[in-house]
Structure 1
């Protein structure tokens, strides 16, 4: 399972159904990637078990990786359709798509579905947004991003 089965369920939304997906897509004005929707049908967001993603570029977090604590789901108080636009405004992220990742910096950086090349109905890439607000591609798709997550121990860090 991709998610940590801890007692902390602040980021776990209600069970996903087709109407919730349609409503989220209407609010966000994009088609969510099938791999993201499929993951949310198993568990609607939550704390990740493997939280690090290797990078080929240095970040404010580390020279060779980022850390993502949570993947946001849809619905509920923390759903992407509820918080993404506000986060883009508040943190001055580039308006390239949907904020879905929660990082340990609590807003100074983030991870987004990037629709800038594919348009709102295409398959978005996944981009890391650092403090300089320049999108840097992490993966060509959400599925590739999820499959690239590794234990933070890989980088000599604790999992907590």
Structure 2
């Protein structure tokens, strides 16, 4: 496939489920699908995102938590995601789908700072975004968590998509306190 994730263990990354197949997992990506998403959203997808989705186009990972240096409504030290959006528009949870990036901006009022690519367990009250503010529409976006419950407060999560994926951890890495 590509070289960015050539050393990555995909065998234990995706959680197989009928729900993931129905809502997230899109058809194998093509150059045409990538170009259509980029045209529709006005941003160049990071090479790491395109390569990663080339292995499986969207889904629900086993490891769904990522550390943060700042508190969010989810936890003091991390965020959680529900799934990663596929490239395309045929699934509800795809970049151009029913609950795609534009939906969150137009219907929920999320700031138009990039591409919303991962949802969270809050059912829309927080999202994860490829943030293009510092790099421009063709640059390498950083990954941010946007919290609707805190007036769309933005917390930096990772330097880029590759770092985000490599930084995902399972629930056992975190001590949940009440």
TM-score (norm 1): 0.93
Between the aligned partners of 1:36 and 1:84, the Cα distance in structure 2 is: 15
Question: Match for 2:130 among 104, 113, 131?
Answer: 113
1:6 aligns to 2:6 (yes or no): no
State the shift of 1:96 in Å: 0.2
Is the 8 Å Cα contact of residues 15 and 43 (structure 1) preserved in structure 2? yes
Between the aligned partners of 1:138 and 1:152, the Cα distance in structure 2 is: 17
CA RMSD of aligned residues (A): 1.2
Say how many residue pairs are matched.
157
Question: Match for 1:87 among 99, 104, 109?
Answer: 104
Matches for 1:1-40 after TM superposition, within 5 Å: 1=10, 2-8=13-19, 9=21, 10-40=23-53
Is the 8 Å Cα contact of residues 34 and 87 (structure 2) preserved in structure 1? yes
TM-score (norm 2): 0.84
Matches for 1:43-58 after TM superposition, within 5 Å: 43-58=56-71
Worse-superposed segment, 87-96 or 17-26: 87-96
Partner of 2:143: 126
Structure 2 unaligned spans of 5+: 1-9
Worse-superposed segment, 115-124 or 80-89: 80-89
1:104 aligns to 2:118 (yes or no): no
Following superposition, which runs of at least 4 residues in structure 1 exceed 3 angstroms of deviation? none
Between the aligned partners of 2:106 and 2:30, the Cα distance in structure 1 is: 28
Is the 8 Å Cα contact of residues 12 and 73 (structure 1) preserved in structure 2? yes
Is the 8 Å Cα contact of residues 15 and 62 (structure 2) preserved in structure 1? yes
Between the aligned partners of 1:147 and 1:12, the Cα distance in structure 2 is: 20
Q: Deviations over 1:1-42 (max 9, x none)?
A: 222123321210111111111111110111000110011111
